[in-house]
Structure 1
Amino acid sequence: MQVVSNTSPLSNLGVINELGLLQQIYPKVIIPPIVQAELMRFSEIQPTISTLINSGWLEIQIPKNPQLISTLEQTLDPGESAAIALAIDLKADRLLIDERLGRDVATQYGLKIRGILGILVNAKKQGLIPATQPLLDRLVNEAGFRVNQALYERILQASDEK
């Protein structure tokens, strides 16, 4: 399974020390160099990211279509643009991305997307975590992840916690 990630799913899970959850779900995650650079700006997760790269679980690949990246950068940030371009290059099975505009653009290119909240719901359904709400609360409180109340409630319902 080819999985490409943007910065936010990795950084947010890293901040709450739950990157191991992604390792249980995906055999490998591929990121473009700009996403690696963005991740390394988070001093609290730098050692973990370096370890995951050295282990081969987190793999760095350069997108092959700079023109597409330039086009995408007209509306998206560099990490999102490169991640979408790389996912298209690899015909990835999944793109991990959270930002609404990036998700919309990725969907327009026919990519299958998954955000951090979908990852939590799936982890609960697979029995990898006992409950979604504690991790969701940690994302909000520790990582500054923004979730409106309606979405928060939908995630708890999808996790059979409400």
Structure 2
Amino acid sequence: MQVFSNTSPLCNLAIIGQLPLLWRFYTQITIPYAVWAELQELDHENARECLEDARASGLIYVIPVLDQSLIRLLGEGLHLGESEAIVLAYEKTGDLLLMDEHDGRAVAQRLGIPITGVLGILRRAKLEGLIPSLKSEITRLRAEAHFFIAPKLEEALLHSVGEMS
């Protein structure tokens, strides 16, 4: 399975110490250079070190994006990392793109790229018994990574894993 990622899922999972969940589900995550550059600018030192270790061990693979004209076109409404991640997944016919940002997800969906984000990863981890509580991980995302989740989405997610009746 070829999995690509934008910055947000990787940094948010690294910040809350759950980056290893990705290696339970996927062999390798491929990212474009713009995403790697954004990850290198993280203020969270432990998260940055975890990501650097993952790259050094081959779990995160960084490659260039070829279609610069499509990047420029997408760049009119998206950040560079989002644009490059979407174009890379599109070029390589990726099986999955990890992306949290609403606008980027909408573009990826229009291009037919399957997507999930940090919440989808954590939901899967809960369903597979890899984490004891989705609610506690969402709480950590808010507190430690300043992650926003709409109350209705949180309620639906918690209900889907049996943490809310």
TM-score, structure 1 as length reference: 0.97
Gaps of 5+ in 1: none
CA shift, 1:124, in A, is 1.1
**Structure 2 counterpart of 1:76:** 78
Name the CA distance, whole Å, in 1 between partners of 2:143 and 2:156.
19
- CA shift at 1:29, angstroms? 0.3
Instruction: Tell me the C-alpha RMSD between the 2 structures.
Output: 0.8
Return the match for 2:129 from 124, 127, 130: 127
Q: What displacement does 1:46 show?
A: 2.1
Which deviates further from its counterpart, 67-76 or 125-134? 125-134
Partner of 1:21: 21
SS of aligned partner of 2:133: coil
Q: Percent identity between the aligned chains?
A: 41
Distance 1:69 1:96 in 2: 18
5 Å-filtered alignment, 1:9-158, equals 9-43=9-43, 44=45, 45-158=47-160
* Aligned mates of 2:122, 2:96 — CA distance in 1: 15
Paired AA for residue 107 in structure 2: V
TM-score where L is the length of structure 2: 0.95
Q: Aligned partner of 1:108: which letter?
A: R
Equivalent pairs counted in the alignment come to 162
2:77 aligned counterpart, secondary structure: coil
Moved over 4 A (4+): none
Deviation of the 1:157 alpha carbon: 0.8
The whole-number CA distance in structure 1 between the counterparts of 2:130 and 2:16 is: 16
1:87-136 residue CA offsets vs partner (Å, 9 max, x unmatched)? 01111000000010100000000000001111111111112112211111
For the residue of structure 1 that corresponds to 2:149, the secondary structure is coil
| Aligned equivalent of 1:159 | 161
Question: Secondary structure at 1:83's aligned position in 2?
Answer: helix
In the alignment, structure 2 segments of 5+ residues that lack a partner are: none
Tell me how far apart the structure 2 counterparts of residues 9 and 58 of structure 1 sit (CA, whole Å): 13
* Letter of the 1:7 counterpart: T
